[in-house]
């Protein structure tokens, strides 16, 4: 089991593969924290693997989210929420995905996306997240590319296992990856 004094986080922009990562870790034998307040839908047929119906950021902003019961387990906190994490001891798996794929997926979910403007906007948010993590002494991170997960999940899972300090059940975790759900693949 990972270190119980550490808060493990899966992060990244919304629609960057955070749910897939949570699902892989869950099937790979890591303790992952989520509830069923947002049920699976056509955008995430296998579920969101998140807390508070995805609105954990609201609780973090209000300072009402209690990490204590979740120490040593993995919680999903998307990129914007990182700035509200209280002092702790965090290891963050940060998902990276082609920004056009992220935006296309957001658009399909109903967000009003201007590709040109939002490419810059969410690029800035990624940069802001990394700067924030670098500035904080209580955070370590590794980046995982969504496309690499789809192309060679076993390799990425090994990398994640080393980062988390726990070997994963890679054979099981790989089964969580369904390349058919990679529906917004950019051509480049």
Partner 1 sequence: MSEQKKTVSIPTNLYDAIQERVEGTEFNSVEEYVTFVLEEVIKDDDEEETAFTAEDEEEVKKRLRALGYLD
Which residues contribute to the site for partner 1 (CB under 8 A)? 14-15, 38, 53-55, 57-58, 78, 80, 106, 109-113, 118, 121-125, 127-128
DSSP state of 37: S
* Residue 138: both structure tokens together: 């209580």
* Residue (127 or 155) nearer to partner 1, CB: 127
* Residue (14 or 148) nearer to partner 1, CB: 14
Q: How far is the CB of 80 from partner 1 (least distance, A)?
A: 6
Q: How far is the CB of 154 from partner 1 (least distance, A)?
A: 30
Contact (CB, 8 A) for 106 and 23:
no
* Residue 35: both structure tokens together: 């509830």
* Residue 46: both structure tokens together: 């296998």
* Residue (38 or 185) nearer to partner 1, CB: 38
Beta-bridge mates of residue 90 = 7, 139
What is each CA distance from 77 to 32, 90, 132, 152, in whole angstroms?
A: 12, 12, 14, 24
Q: How far is the CB of 124 from partner 1 (least distance, A)?
A: 5
* Residue (77 or 173) nearer to partner 1, CB: 77
* Residue (117 or 155) nearer to partner 1, CB: 117
Closest CA to 168 of 179, 181, 153, 180: 153
Question: What CA–CA distance (Å, rounded) separates 95 from 15?
Answer: 9
Count of residues for the chain? 188
Question: What CA–CA distance (Å, rounded) separates 57 from 51?
Answer: 10
Q: How far is the CB of 32 from partner 1 (least distance, A)?
A: 18
């Amino acid at each position: 089991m990972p270190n119980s004094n550490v808060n493990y986080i899966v992060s990244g922009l919304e629609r960057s593969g955070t749910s897939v990562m949570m699902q892989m870790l869950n099937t790979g034998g890591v303790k992952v924290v989520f509830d069923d307040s947002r049920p699976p839908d056509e955008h995430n047929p296998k579920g969101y693997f998140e807390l508070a119906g995805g609105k954990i950021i609201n609780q973090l902003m209000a300072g009402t989210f209690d990490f204590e019961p979740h120490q040593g387990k993995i919680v999903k906190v998307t990129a914007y929420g990182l700035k509200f994490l209280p002092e702790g001891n965090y290891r963050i798996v940060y998902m990276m995905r082609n920004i056009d794929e992220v935006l296309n997926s957001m658009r399909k979910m109903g967000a009003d996306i201007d590709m040109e403007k939002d490419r810059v906007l969410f690029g800035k948010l990624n940069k802001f997240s990394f700067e924030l993590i670098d500035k904080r002494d209580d955070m370590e991170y590794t980046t995982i590319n969504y496309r690499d997960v789809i192309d060679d999940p076993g390799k990425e899972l090994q990398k994640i296992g080393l980062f988390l300090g726990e070997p994963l059940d890679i054979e099981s975790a790989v089964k969580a990856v369904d390349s058919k759900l990679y529906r917004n693949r950019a051509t480049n």
